[in-house]
Amino acid sequence: MSQRQVLQVFEQYQKARTQFVQTVAELASRPQNIETLQNAGVMSLLRPLLLDIVPTIQQTAALALGRLANYNDDLAEAVVKGDILPQLVYSLAEQNRFYKKAAAFVLRAVAKHSPQLAQSVVDCGALDALVICLEEFDPGVKEAAAWALGYIARHNAELAQAVVDAGAVPLLVLCIQEPELSLKRIAASALSDICKHSPELAQTVVDAGAIAHLAQMILNPDAKLKRQVFSALSQISKHSVDLAEMVVEAEIFPAVLTCLKDPDEYVKKNVATLIREIAKHTPELAQLIVNAGGVAAVVDYIGDSKGNVRLPGIMMLGYVAAHSENLAMAVIVSKGVVQLAIALSEEPEDHLQAAVAWALGQIGRHTPEHSKAVAVANVLPKLLNCYLRADATEDLQTKSKRSLKNNLQKCVHLPALEPLLHDAPPNILKHVVGQFSKVLPHDSKARRFFVTSGGLKKIQEIKAEPGSALAEYVNTINNCYPEEIVKYYSPGYSDALLERVENFAPKS
């Protein structure tokens, strides 16, 4: 065989390998092909090509493996069992930027599925190699490494700590300062994934100077970047008063409030989540948000949103109102109760109704004035309905019941309590009757209205256990009226009257 023929054979072999990996990579990009590729044993065929002498074949083989591993945890598990990870980690340090991106993609695709698979990536020494990639000149390599590190860190505190211990945080903070938008997004996302698990991990990110750089990007025009920035800031803020104060000190208010009207739903939701996480900690932080116009902005946001996007706004109002009478009044003045009442009527999901019920309970529990604001919005019958609904979740029933009690124990606005007299079960009725027993002895107009509206008649129909609180409340109310009036509205009185008529002997 001549030299020319030998070269032709090698050329054909190279072409065949190239065509094979390119075809597999292409097929692996479509979900309907995955099972067929898996059954054909494509993993074992790709593995040796990771060490091919031709760089493009190596890179395409890695890309194909990444696409397969990305599809489901079984295929990711097959990559681990095929002993492919150590090979990729070794190549991360040795190969060119194209291969590094492909190798980091495989590591990310394996790590994303479960803590166990992410731990397999860590165990093969990937963290150090990925952190070194964060120092590469090429932004694409940095992005691929940051993405993989974020996917490892997101599972639990132990994996996030491993990423921190490998020295990733300062380099990720440098990445968010790079000019490339996609690199900024991925680095901010990775920092968010590290922060979310514990105050200590969030503090590590803060100590690396992340807050100031994140805060500078809150008005960036890129929606995807803003999503990650607000996510990271809220993950920092949620853990403690100190961390929330550090975020506030970066002077994010009132600028962040404009983002509650962002066209991107995820941006809006993440901003509302950030405001909620800050507001929940202390009355001082909540007051700062109120002073910046935050409550009014969140009320508008709830009015403009639907479904789960509404949730952080609803909870933010509840947290603010819970702190003090004045803060709860700020929610009322900003028409927060009205918007919550609309949300309670509109939202079909139990978890959203439960959040609204909880927030209304926090608003109404302070004083009669607060509970009146809740009562006149006509939400008490709706809360009762949520509590009594047979198919309601336990959480919705619990929160609706507690909210009703919180409001009823303060409410002296009798017209709003009247409908509950006829519909409430005994454990709620006790609180309703208790409020009437507080008001009626001191208000003659209310006593008259109570008779004409049918309230007194309803009271006579209540079967209260002697000596119970409910029996005491009923007696207090009855003592507000002449005995003959109470008798007149008692069950069976008309029969007694008729009997007297029958037995009455007219004077001749």
φ, ψ for residue 182 (rounded to 5)? Answer: -65, -35
The residue whose two tokens read 């390998």 is: 17
Residue positions counted in the chain: 508
What is the rounded average pLDDT of the residues 62-89? 77
Q: What is the pLDDT of residues 416-475, one digit of tens each?
A: 888 877 777 877 888 888 888 888 888 888 888 888 888 878 887 778 778 788 888 888
Instruction: Provide the pLDDT for residue 166.
Output: 93
Q: Could you tell me the two tokens for 55?
A: 């760089």
Q: Could you tell me the two tokens for 165?
A: 């211990």
446 closest CA partner among 421, 407, 415, 408: 415
- Rounded distance between C-alpha atoms, residue 473 and residue 362, angstroms: 26
What is the rounded average pLDDT of the residues 242-254? 92
Instruction: Provide the pLDDT for residue 270.
Output: 95
Confidence of residue 87 (pLDDT cuts 50, 70, 90): confident
385 closest CA partner among 406, 400, 402: 400
Please return the burial class of 39, using the count of CB atoms within 10 Å of its CB with bins 0-12, 13-18 and 19+: exposed
- Rounded distance between C-alpha atoms, residue 306 and residue 157, angstroms: 33
Q: Could you tell me the two tokens for 305?
A: 């949103």
Q: Are 474 and 459 in contact (CB under 8 A)?
A: yes
Please say whether the dihedral angle defined by the alpha carbons of residues 198, 201, 205 and 207, taken in this order, is positive or negative: positive
Q: What is the pLDDT of residues 292-307, one digit of tens each?
A: 999 999 999 999 889 8
Q: What is the pLDDT of residues 400-429, one digit of tens each?
A: 989 988 888 888 887 888 887 777 787 788
Question: Count of CB atoms within 10 A of residue 10's CB?
Answer: 10
The angle at the Cα of 450, spanning 446 to 455, to the nearest 5 degrees, equals 150
Q: What percent of the chain has pLDDT over 70?
A: 94
Alpha-carbon separation of residue 217 from 4, 6, 140, 194 (angstroms): 61, 59, 21, 19
What is the rounded average pLDDT of the residues 256-278? 93
Instruction: Provide the pLDDT for residue 461.
Output: 78
298 closest CA partner among 344, 322, 330, 346: 330
Instruction: Provide the pLDDT for residue 236.
Output: 95
Residue 306: left (phi > 0), alpha (psi -120 to 50), or beta? beta
Q: What is the pLDDT of residues 115-166, one digit of tens each?
A: 998 998 899 888 999 999 998 889 999 999 999 999 999 999 999 999 999 9
What is the rounded average pLDDT of the residues 219-243? 94
Per-residue three-class SS string for 151-170: HHHCCCHHHHHHHHHCCHHH
The residue whose two tokens read 């390599």 is: 141
Q: 42-56, 94-108, 284-298, 407-421 — which one is most confidently predicted on average? A: 284-298
Task: Kindly tell me if the per-residue pLDDT of 499 is higher than 70.
Answer: no
Please indicate whether residue 51 or residue 17 has the higher confidence score (pLDDT): 17
> What are the chain's domains?
12-166 (1.25.10.10), 282-407 (1.25.10.10), 412-491 (no CATH)
| Lowest mean per-residue pLDDT among 189-203, 233-247, 466-480 | 466-480
Instruction: Provide the pLDDT for residue 452.
Output: 80
Instruction: Provide the pLDDT for residue 451.
Output: 80
314 closest CA partner among 330, 337, 293, 334: 337
Mean pLDDT of the chain: 86
Question: Count of CB atoms within 10 A of residue 381's CB?
Answer: 14
Task: Kindly tell me if the per-residue pLDDT of 502 is higher than 70.
Answer: no
pTM of the predicted model, to two decimals?
Answer: 0.84
Instruction: Provide the pLDDT for residue 146.
Output: 95
Instruction: Provide the pLDDT for residue 487.
Output: 79
Instruction: Provide the pLDDT for residue 237.
Output: 95
Instruction: Provide the pLDDT for residue 91.
Output: 75
Instruction: Provide the pLDDT for residue 403.
Output: 92
Q: Could you tell me the two tokens for 129?
A: 């190699």
Q: Are 64 and 25 in contact (CB under 8 A)?
A: yes
Please indicate whether residue 88 or residue 233 has the higher confidence score (pLDDT): 233
Q: What is the DSSP string of 465-499?
A: PTTSHHHHHHHHHHTTS-HHHHHHTSTTHHHHHHH
One-letter amino acid at 283 equals P
Instruction: Provide the pLDDT for residue 233.
Output: 96
Q: 53-57, 108-112, 360-364 — which one is most confidently predicted on average? A: 360-364
Q: What is the pLDDT of residues 332-389, one digit of tens each?
A: 999 999 999 999 888 888 999 999 999 999 999 899 899 989 988 888 888 888 888 8
Task: Kindly tell me if the per-residue pLDDT of 23 is higher than 80.
Answer: no
- Rounded distance between C-alpha atoms, residue 396 and residue 355, angstroms: 8
Q: Are 284 and 240 in contact (CB under 8 A)?
A: no
